Structure 1
Amino acid sequence: MAPETSFERYRPLLHAELGRTGASLAALDADSRSVSAARDNSNVDDEHDPEGTTIASELSQVAVLARDAQRRSDEIRAALERLDGGSFGVCAVCGQAIAEGRLDARPWTPYCIDHVSGR
């Protein structure tokens, strides 16, 4: 494993991504509240409207996006903890170093390329 200080360059990248993810979560929360308010203030039977997307479908899409953003936020926070703890850049499955190119693309990943699909 490379010295811990060599990974410090990922810290600002992780914090920037955490900020973007937090902004996405806030926007999705606002979208969800807006769609819910529209449903509460309407007596339209959108479930049987052949012309468009249902409000329930829109809420479902927002929920999936929010769940993905929350998962990404959790992954980034875990990467920051690994950075603080000295285990950043080490595959959680095999214990080998994660390739620098992989960390450049996804600095929050806890897996080397060989174990990304086997988690």
Structure 2
Amino acid sequence: MHTESPDTRELYIIQDVALTVDQLERFGRMLDERRRGDVAESQRHAEALGSLLSSRSESTADDEHDPEGPTLSAEWSRLQALRSETAADIAAVDAARERIRAGRYGTCASCGRAIGVQRLEARPTTELCIVCAIAAER
């Protein structure tokens, strides 16, 4: 929870608007599309990791000392990091879809107030209103 200042109250007045059924459906479609893109991206990363693993097993060259381009180890780490980020985004999308099903989408998980539509459009997986998000960053 957080305390309200005069500036904060102005933000709440703007935010305290319930989402309409049409808006919830639109956000649901946005989340579904984002999930499809994440799944496709995750598959591309898995394929690239498979190719890299194949290259590693076939190669006897010492790529750690190759001045040309990234090493196989560095590329492996990069692809694993990208795959982890994609998996985290899929989980966030799934959590947002669950909040829609449960009737909690667009409600701040911290203070219980409405999350502004513009914030949801920019960050459809967010669980925090802008005031709580700013407070959490401090």
TM-score, normalised by the number of residues in structure 2 = 0.80
Q: Deviations over 1:54-88 (max 9, x none)?
A: 00000000011111000000000000000000000
Deviation of 1:51 (Å) = 2.5
Size of the aligned set, in residue pairs, is 119
Deviation of 1:95 (Å) = 1.2
- The answer to which structure has the higher helix fraction is 2
1:2 maps onto 2:26 in alignment:
no
**Where does the alignment leave 5 or more consecutive residues of structure 1 unmatched?**
none
Q: Deviations over 1:2-61 (max 9, x none)?
A: 156242221111100000000000000001111111111110101122232100000000
1:85 maps onto 2:102 in alignment:
yes
Identity of aligned residues (%): 34
Contact 1:92–1:111 (CA under 8 A) maintained in structure 2: yes
| Alignment RMSD | 1.6
Contact 2:99–2:105 (CA under 8 A) maintained in structure 1: yes
TM-score, normalised by the number of residues in structure 1 = 0.92
Matches within 5 A, 1:5-20: 5=21, 6-20=23-37
In the other structure, the counterpart of 2:41 is 24
- 3-state SS, counterpart of residue 17 of structure 1: helix
**Where does the alignment leave 5 or more consecutive residues of structure 2 unmatched?**
1-16
**AA paired with 2:114?**
A
Structure label with greater radius of gyration = 2
2:123 to 85, 89, 106: 106
- Distance, in Å, in 1 between the alignment partners of 2:28 and 2:46 is 27
Q: Which has the higher contact order (CA 8 A, sep 6+)?
A: 2
1:59 maps onto 2:76 in alignment:
yes
1:69 maps onto 2:86 in alignment:
yes
Contact 1:4–1:86 (CA under 8 A) maintained in structure 2: no
- 3-state SS, counterpart of residue 9 of structure 1: helix
Spell out structure 1 runs of 4+ moving beyond 3 A: none
